Amino acid sequence: MRLIHWLALGALVFAAGCSLGGGQPAAPSTPVPTREAEVITTSVPSVEDAARAYLDAWKAFDYESMHARLTQISQDAFSFEQFDARYTAVALEATLTAVDYELLQTLINPTNAQIAYRVTLTSALVGEITRDTTMNLSLEGGEWRVVWDDSLILPELAGGNTLSMQRFNPTRGLIYDRDGAVLAGDSEAVAVQVIPSTVDEDSGSGLASQLATLTGQRAQTLAEQIFAEDAPFLLPIGVVSGEQFSLREQFLQPYYNFIRFDRYFTRLYPLATGGAHAIGYVGRVGADEAEELARQGVPIDAIIGKQGIERWGEPYLSGQRGGELYVISPEGLRVTILARREAQPAQSVYLTIDRDLQRETQAAIRDFTGAIVVLERDTGRILAIASSPTFDPNSADFSNPISQWSTYFPDNNGRFFNRATQGQYPPGSIFKMIPMAAALESELYSTNSTYFCGHLWTGLGEGSPLEDWTLAKGLPASGELTLPGGLMRSCNPWFYEIGLALYNNGFPDLIAEMSRRFGLGSPTGLEALTEAAGQITTPDTSTTGSDPRFNAAQQAIGQSDTLVTPLQMAVFAAALGNGGTLYQPALVEQILSTDGQATLVFTPQVRGTTDLDPEILAALQAAMRSVINDPRGTAYSRFLNLTISIYGKTGTAQTGPGLLPHAWFIGYTNQNRADLPDIAIAVIVENIGEGSEFAAPIFKRVVEAYFFGSPQSRYPWETQIGVFNPEFFNPTPEGEEGDEGDEGTAPAVVTPSP
């Protein structure tokens, strides 16, 4: 009623002669030497605009602008540092995510004004807090300025009261594989170590066998570590769940003299290094993100996702934090409760990953630097994804007695870099299906077209020959080949010829366009992980050389400045096998609440199609099959005796002077089994040698693990499955007749002059 009375009084004063907007006396009219006299009045700013400017600055959390709009007396009483600290403390304690307001009523007299407004503070923990309060303003120097006191924030804060939040934090959600096996979850854990110096030879075999059963590792590998001459005093074996340890404890008791085990509570990752880049890990809030997260209700001591699904799924896995917000008097007494909201349980994330296949896939590339991606060919589900070297997310918890986290930094080996989605590599000859498709679509060539594949190609002139891989291998030239035969033999001259012919006959950009139709040169759309785009250029935009004809020839063998990711090449292989459909790869199968309600359910997402003529696609498929089953195919010897139908392509991609090439193999299966959907796989091993020698055997092992449940044949560089033989390793093996050599090579004899 008092406010209404003041408003009425103000209106009377205004009617008696006060000016609009400020109550100042109107300036007298001043005659000017014109035919008509003009009246000039003094303009007084709007008090509502001044209030809005102050409150808009609060909405933007711009405390400096707010402080600048205070009266001089208020600024003298509250320095900016004090003012900033007051508002910051309120924002952090109340976990403010937004501020909004509504002006209600205005009372003005000549030099003072009062505005009633409604403020709504949105808290990440307790929701909206709405209060009506009042702002006093004073006219200073022709501007309305705010007279500050604590009630401008909330009426309950008048007199120096403060806020205090009691937080309610739900238990973090679990991450499962596609069949419900736990991949990450809060659990009691047991860290297992061995004291090698106490282990005698009679007990070693049995101890290694029991530890292998406990941890899922291979007994022979563990035995070698235990009896190694340089074995440490305490040899870390691994971390298992308390439940898992209890099930095997009776079998370990005879070996207690050799074992040390420590129990602790943690976020447990049963696969350890397996799929670590995809699953991710958790850690404490970092200093660089503390203030931002605090406003979202995340306390400084919270455990949050740092990488992979743990990071992407934070909104689901952390649940909805709740809290109770109190008003505290200057004496430290609880005055009242402003708001309360209960915490909501976290949700569980089910991945498309197959736990056992993921374990074997990671092990398949463990001894190398590289990556593997395994997709369901006809849906885009990621069944396994591995990057090497990797890290153990169990080590991120420093309460883990065998944590090796500190040894990962500085990360000189790129342990945390996900090569599967972020690594950008020249594809070499795994790219050759692209120019073959372009050649057929251009109608310059057919599947019956032939070319003599010699050791040298002189399409750019006799002085600028380029080699075929058979020359460096000391093998006879491949001779007369059809176009599909050129892919089967991975004949570089055939594809140099295609690249140059397309450029010279009106199709200079067709290989680049075909690449993009297969999804190369742009991210695949995988939401859960960070991915690189790769690079596709045209001969005229390539930076490899100044002669676009040279660029065209090099592009046709997957060199030039073409870059792809392993994930892109897995999608590419899948599209070749499924009829030309580009599926968006997915890592999340479903997200479920505690009552079993699905927040998200995977459905295949089609990103596009290649629009290839079915006859062209069939020709590509037949050529990829011949790589495997034709005795002259570049991967024939690697897949002997494998009963699974494989379509694939080897690749050996040059990376620069003085460096060994990257080894590639991509392909898909065609079993048409209802119980085991067909898969597409991309394998890359960095700076190692030939695709047929290294990537193809790794591809084969993943196929065996998928269809047979475990590897069936050892690598050439193993003494037995899972046991690396360092004496075998030779980065430039001789190979054998029919195996691919340095195909996909950059200029080999003479580089064309600029």
31 confidence band (pLDDT: 50, 70, 90): very low
Indicate if the pLDDT at residue 183 is higher than 70.
yes
Indicate if the pLDDT at residue 253 is higher than 60.
yes
SS3 660: coil
Element (H, E) at 244: helix 242-252
Indicate if the pLDDT at residue 12 is higher than 80.
no
Q: Which DSSP category does 405 fall into?
A: G
Strand partners of residue 29: none
Instruction: Choose from 17-26, 27-36, 282-291, 740-749 the range with maximum mean pLDDT.
Output: 282-291
- Is 261 within 8 Å of 239 (Cβ atoms)? no
Instruction: Give the model's pLDDT for residue 726.
Output: 82
Mean pLDDT across 618-642 = 97
- Is 369 within 8 Å of 388 (Cβ atoms)? yes
Three-state SS letters, 416-456: CCCHHHHCCECCHHHHCHHHHHHHHHHCCCCCCCEEEECCE
The pTM assigned to this predicted structure is 0.86
Give the Cα separation of 669 and 235 in Å (integer): 41
Q: Which DSSP category does 584 fall into?
A: P
Report the first-to-last Cα separation within the chain, whole angstroms: 89
Give the Cα separation of 683 and 698 in Å (integer): 7
- Is 141 within 8 Å of 131 (Cβ atoms)? no
- Nearest Cα residue to 237 out of 224, 250, 249, 247: 224
- Is 493 within 8 Å of 468 (Cβ atoms)? yes
**C-beta contacts of 32-40 below 8 A and 24+ residues apart:** none
Q: Which residue has the higher pLDDT, 287 or 196?
A: 196
Q: Which CATH architecture has domain 422-724?
A: 3-Layer(aba) Sandwich (3.40)
Q: Which DSSP category does 30 fall into?
A: -
- Is 365 within 8 Å of 683 (Cβ atoms)? yes
Query: How far is the CA of 531 from the CAs of 264, 389, 426, 525, 528, in angstroms?
Result: 35, 18, 16, 9, 9
Give the Cα separation of 169 and 125 in Å (integer): 10
- Nearest Cα residue to 552 out of 457, 441, 469: 457
- Is 382 within 8 Å of 571 (Cβ atoms)? no
Q: For the chain, give the mean pLDDT.
A: 91
Task: Extract the tokens encoding 535.
Answer: 């690079």
| Domain residue limits, the chain | 2-28+41-160, 422-724
Helical H runs in 481-547? 483-489, 492-504, 510-517
Mean pLDDT across 275-281 = 98
Indicate if the pLDDT at residue 694 is higher than 90.
yes
Mean pLDDT across 714-725 = 91
Give the Cα separation of 576 and 589 in Å (integer): 24
Indicate if the pLDDT at residue 39 is higher than 70.
no
Indicate if the pLDDT at residue 23 is higher than 90.
no
Mean pLDDT across 531-560 = 94
Task: Extract the tokens encoding 160.
Answer: 């120096």
| Number of residues assigned to the chain | 754
Q: Which residue has the higher pLDDT, 130 or 295?
A: 130
**Beta carbons within 10 angstroms of residue 319's beta carbon:** 20
543 confidence band (pLDDT: 50, 70, 90): confident
Share of the chain above pLDDT 70, in %: 91
Question: Reading across the β-sheet that carries 162-168, which strands appear in turn?
Answer: 162-168, 322-328, 334-341
299 confidence band (pLDDT: 50, 70, 90): confident
Task: Extract the tokens encoding 499.
Answer: 């690249």
Q: pLDDT tens across 456-468, in order?
A: 999 999 999 999 9
723 confidence band (pLDDT: 50, 70, 90): confident
Element (H, E) at 2: helix 2-15
Mean pLDDT across 170-181 = 97
Indicate if the pLDDT at residue 639 is higher than 80.
yes
Q: pLDDT tens across 740-749, in order?
A: 444 444 333 3
Give the Cα separation of 565 and 572 in Å (integer): 11
Instruction: Give the model's pLDDT for residue 456.
Output: 97
Residue 584 makes CB contacts below 8 A (sequence gap 6+) with 380, 524, 525, 526, 605, 606, 607
Give the Cα separation of 270 and 240 in Å (integer): 6
**Beta carbons within 10 angstroms of residue 100's beta carbon:** 14
**Beta carbons within 10 angstroms of residue 129's beta carbon:** 18
Q: Which residue has the higher pLDDT, 535 or 290?
A: 535
Indicate if the pLDDT at residue 294 is higher than 80.
yes
Indicate if the pLDDT at residue 187 is higher than 90.
yes
Instruction: Choose from 139-143, 199-203, 283-287, 616-620 the range with maximum mean pLDDT.
Output: 616-620
Give the Cα separation of 582 and 572 in Å (integer): 8
Give the Cα separation of 495 and 484 in Å (integer): 11
Q: Taking the domain 2-28+41-160, which CATH number applies?
A: 3.10.450.100
Give the Cα separation of 59 and 348 in Å (integer): 35
Residue 721 makes CB contacts below 8 A (sequence gap 6+) with 218, 711, 713, 714
Mean pLDDT across 715-744 = 64
- Is 222 within 8 Å of 203 (Cβ atoms)? no
Instruction: Give the model's pLDDT for residue 730.
Output: 55
Indicate if the pLDDT at residue 4 is higher than 90.
no
Strand partners of residue 526: none
Strand partners of residue 385: 373
Give the Cα separation of 310 and 598 in Å (integer): 19
SS3 556: coil
Mean pLDDT across 422-432 = 98
Which amino acid appears at position 447 of this protein?
Answer: T
DSSP for 273-314, written as a single string:
TTTHHHH--EEEPPTTTHHHHHTTT--TT-EEE-SHHHHHTH
**Beta carbons within 10 angstroms of residue 184's beta carbon:** 29
Mean pLDDT across 616-632 = 98
Mean pLDDT across 552-580 = 98
Mean pLDDT across 147-173 = 96
SS3 698: helix
Compute the CA torsion angle 52, 58, 60, 65 (nearest 10 deg).
Answer: 80
Indicate if the pLDDT at residue 297 is higher than 90.
no
292 confidence band (pLDDT: 50, 70, 90): confident
17 confidence band (pLDDT: 50, 70, 90): very low
DSSP for 347-381, written as a single string:
PEEEES--HHHHHHHHHHTTTSSEEEEEEETTT-B
Strand partners of residue 146: 70, 137
Instruction: Give the model's pLDDT for residue 43.
Output: 64
Which amino acid appears at position 1 of this protein?
Answer: M
Q: pLDDT tens across 191-214, in order?
A: 999 999 999 999 999 999 999 999
Q: pLDDT tens across 484-502, in order?
A: 999 999 999 999 999 999 9
Give the Cα separation of 560 and 427 in Å (integer): 10
- Nearest Cα residue to 240 out of 267, 214, 210, 213: 214
Three-state SS letters, 557-574: CCCCCCEECHHHHHHHHH
Indicate if the pLDDT at residue 13 is higher than 50.
no
- Is 389 within 8 Å of 369 (Cβ atoms)? yes
Strand partners of residue 176: 182, 350
Mean pLDDT across 407-412 = 94
Mean pLDDT across 355-365 = 97
- Is 313 within 8 Å of 351 (Cβ atoms)? no
58-69 b/e with 16+ CB inside 10 Å = b?
A: beeeebeebbeb
- Nearest Cα residue to 364 out of 111, 678, 695: 695
Task: Extract the tokens encoding 647.
Answer: 């379509």
